[in-house]
Amino acid sequence: MTDAGRRRGRDETEEERADRMWGELIQEVRVAQTGVQILFGFLLTVVFQPKYAGLATVDQTIYIVTVVLGACATGALIGPVSLHRLVAGRRVKPQAVRLASRMTFIGLILLLATMTSSLLLILRVATHDGYVPYLVAAVVAWYLVCWYGLPLWSRHRHTARPED
Domain for residue 153, yes or no? Answer: no
Domain for residue 154, yes or no? Answer: no
C-alpha span between 24 and 42 (Å, rounded): 28
Three-class secondary structure of residue 6 per DSSP:
strand
| pTM assigned to the model | 0.85
Domain for residue 150, yes or no? Answer: no
Residue 99 lies in domain: 3-129
Say how many domains are in the chain: 1
**Span 88-145, pLDDT tens digits:** 889 899 999 999 999 999 999 999 999 999 999 999 999 989 999 999 999 999 999 9
Is the distance from CB of 136 to CB of 119 less than 8 angstroms?
A: yes
Is the distance from CB of 97 to CB of 22 less than 8 angstroms?
A: yes
Three-class secondary structure of residue 80 per DSSP:
helix
C-alpha span between 136 and 119 (Å, rounded): 7
**Span 16-36, pLDDT tens digits:** 999 899 999 999 999 998 989
pLDDT of residue 89: 85
pLDDT of residue 8: 55
Rounded to a whole number of angstroms, the distance between the first and last alpha carbons of the chain is 23
Domain for residue 90, yes or no? Answer: yes
Average of pLDDT values for 150-157? Answer: 95
C-alpha span between 110 and 104 (Å, rounded): 10
C-alpha span between 96 and 85 (Å, rounded): 10
Tell me, rounded to whole angstroms, the distance of Cα 131 from its chain centroid: 27
Per-residue pLDDT band for 9 (boundaries 50, 70, 90) equals: low
Domain for residue 138, yes or no? Answer: no
Domain for residue 145, yes or no? Answer: no
Domain for residue 110, yes or no? Answer: yes
**Span 63-85, pLDDT tens digits:** 999 999 999 999 999 999 999 89
Is the distance from CB of 136 to CB of 64 less than 8 angstroms?
A: no
Cβ neighbours for 9, distance < 8 A, ≥ 6 positions apart: 160
C-alpha span between 66 and 103 (Å, rounded): 19
